[in-house]
Structure 1
């Protein structure tokens, strides 16, 4: 019955548009980084995002009968260039996709004035989960604190962490520092020692000093919060120093197939938490081949399309696409405003049933959002490198919401107080 209701809603929306001329298109710019030290990880993500919207336009005539204008503004992952891209695109955009925690933090204070939703799937400032305080920001479907929590829960399932030592190898950047509040709280609560080891932007490809420290510290585990060139550098150093790969785990941005292919079999056992997973048998992959690949509309290739990051790009644009669809149905119009999209993004219900309708079964865990929950906290899988590809090494693990929620609420209110006047939506319930 729910399926019929959704299909009826889509049909009604299509009929609404059928009588008039096709609109110019919904402008959903992406602050991309196909160049610079993070390009190796950025390119497959951007390709997946772009191809999903290409599919929507070619197969479905857009979303709700209106084309998606999925433009890219190149930042090179530079915060300064990212802010320039935001200012350049915000005039007609219904969303901004910053693609960097640093850029997100710079844009965040502007959202209450510009009233354009930030969509930062799986990145950005973790307390953005609090929709009461961050009314225009979304880090769907998992925050960095969620990811750190899942990694700690997984390690805890392997044995008591009390008295253990965990090295936290992280990019010395807002992205890399983001999980520290949760990890420090978890270390105190569970009795393990946390050893932060920062990696500067200029040290990403030469981490000899960091791995010398790891050899001296002799940690039980290494959690890697890496990105771009840092990932390959860390993985090759780990292999070279004979660190047991089964005891090395990364955030979802440190689970890139191409980084592990550099070491191949020597990387067996390395793990990464992930809120997405490629499914080559999913119907959407056949549709992409027919409507995007064969007509020559993709910048990707078969090897990349089978990987974790391309698949994640598809999921990210699906989240945006579903936000648009829900907003259109609620507003009763196809040409939605940024405020309409905000409503759509905080009223998502991505069920198993909906994923099947989208042809994306198994590619992301189910989740839902609300006025107060701008993340969804979907849970994640632990993926393991088998020498050739990533495979699932766990069932879905849910984050420790009992520990995270108070941290989110306090950090959100601290942010609001430090950035007064900051509007808070008191009508947004718990």
Structure 2
């Protein structure tokens, strides 16, 4: 009896050890998502693509060097207070705690900016957030990767310059800035003022209150001011409303240039014919023919395990942007494991190192099935942005068509503004910037 009891106890202990070992080989990623509210449709595509990519890595590769990816969503409704609640709820989950926080909201980014440093959790803000956080010497825990808002605005002005026949032709022109009246929308002001000063054009700022489904007064103002181009710095229902109202007031949609949060199927399709000819920036492209998307279809959707209820949205702009989030997150885990141990889950501090040493060159992107899908990306201690370039696409009434190669920002101007703003922040907060020459 004692022998049998000992065997049972031994088996139970062995089972606990095995299950404990298995649990330790998981990398937890907290997802502060939004699938309800005025931006729910956008969030569903973004988080759907991100989750599908992680599910594909688990199914096809068995995780990252044997470490399975696990995740949990927390609904923010794109609300700052709820975003902070989700941050607190997720931060201690998983065997090593939440390894990265990506709120997909500029407002939530600002709300937890100081918390992530205290808790040693890297915050990755791909294509959004606080632009001057691109200076990693001052913001070591924040990564506004791929392209910041200031780089995007500069690239848009460069694109308008080519349409006008040269940057010198911008002198004396008027460029309207129809912006979402939030932290996100106001992120555009400083750079547009600086670009207007440099190139001699007038910037006309017109605010649209959240959520933006009424814009008669704004477009009446635009009609009176007669700008040569309008930059649509919108989000959610604001974008389709802007295109429909522009059509009613007779403003040509091919003179409306959208930011990347205005250039998705969710923006164009609801606008109907009013969207035809509309041009928007993007740091990723639409399409389901890329090998990475085909791998998701083969390893996830063919097994009825996909996150998207509407499978037609697989390969859309925002879905593919979610896949970009997945690629960058997974490759940061892989990079961190190279230094801290393959087959081990990474802590927040180790993940920070992984993000800061990320190098997605053309060869690596091709190996991931994402050549041309997103720009090459190299992050360093000093530069937490990387690429700083976008492609422009035009809506033909049914789909997006890429109309340019990668268009770069005015890097000297943008980087100078980033460093000046980051230095002012460091002085205000009493921060001693890192010496990045010692981090190499």
Cα pair 1:277 1:364 within 8 Å, conserved? yes
Q: State the distance in 1 between where 2:126 and 2:293 align.
A: 21
- Correspondent of 2:244 among 231, 236, 239: 236
SS of the equivalent of 2:407 reads coil
2:99–2:122 contact (8 Å) kept in structure 1 = yes
Partner of 1:81: 82
SS in 2 for 1:388: coil
Counterpart secondary structure, 1:314:
helix
Partner of 1:109: 114
SS at match of 2:375: coil
Residue range with higher mean Cα deviation, 158-167 or 276-285: 276-285
Q: Is 2:150 aligned against 1:145?
A: yes
Q: Tell me if structure 2 keeps the 8 A contact 1:22–1:66.
A: no
Residue 93 (structure 1) aligned to one of 88, 93, 98: 98
Q: Partner residue of 1:206?
A: 214
Paired residues of 1:34 and 1:42 also in contact (CA < 8 A)? yes
User: How far 1:253 moved relative to its partner?
Assistant: 0.6
Match of 1:314 among 316, 323, 344: 323
What is residue 173 of structure 2 aligned with on the other side? 164
Structure 1 unaligned runs (5+)? 1-19
Secondary structure of the corresponding residue to residue 24 of structure 2? coil
- Displacement of 1:259 in angstroms is 2.0
Show CA shifts across 1:324-355 (max 9, x none): 10001111242211111111111111112111
Deviation at 1:417, TM superposition (A): 1.9
**Residues 182 and 403 (structure 1 numbering): CA distance in 2 closer, same or farther, change over 3 Å?**
same
- Partner of 2:176, secondary structure, is strand
SS in 2 for 1:26: strand
- TM-score of the two chains, using structure 2 as the length reference: 0.90
Q: 2:257 aligned with 1:256, yes or no?
A: no
Aligned to 1:218: 226
Aligned residue pairs, count: 409
Kept in 2: contact 1:53–1:70 (CA 8 A): no
Partner of 1:11: none
Preserved CA contact (<8 Å) 1:112 1:423: no
Aligned to 1:72: 73
Name which of structure 1's ranges 308-317 and 332-341 shifts more when overlaid on structure 2: 332-341
Q: Residues 234 and 259 of structure 2 are in contact (CA less than 8 Å); yes or no, is this contact kept in structure 1?
A: yes
The structure number with the bigger radius of gyration is 2
Distance 1:405 1:378 in 2: 10
Which of 414, 417, 427 pairs up with 1:417? 427
Contact 1:124 1:139 in 2 (8 A): yes
Q: Residues 188-231 of structure 1, C-alpha deviation per residue, up to 9 Å, x if partnerless?
A: 111110011011115x1011111111111111111011011111
Q: Give the whole-Å Cα distance in 1 for the aligned partners of 2:128 and 2:323.
A: 16
Give the match for residue 138 of structure 2. Answer: 133
User: Residues 141 and 375 of structure 1 are in contact (CA less than 8 Å); yes or no, is this contact kept in structure 2?
Assistant: yes
Q: CA RMSD in A?
A: 1.5
Q: Which residue matches 1:175?
A: 184
- Compared CA separation, residues 64 and 423, structure 1 to 2 (3 A): farther
- What is the distance in 1 between the residues matched to 2:210 and 2:437? 40
Matched, 1:373 2:374: no
> For 1:8-23, what aligned pairs fall within 5 Å after superposition?
21=22, 23=24
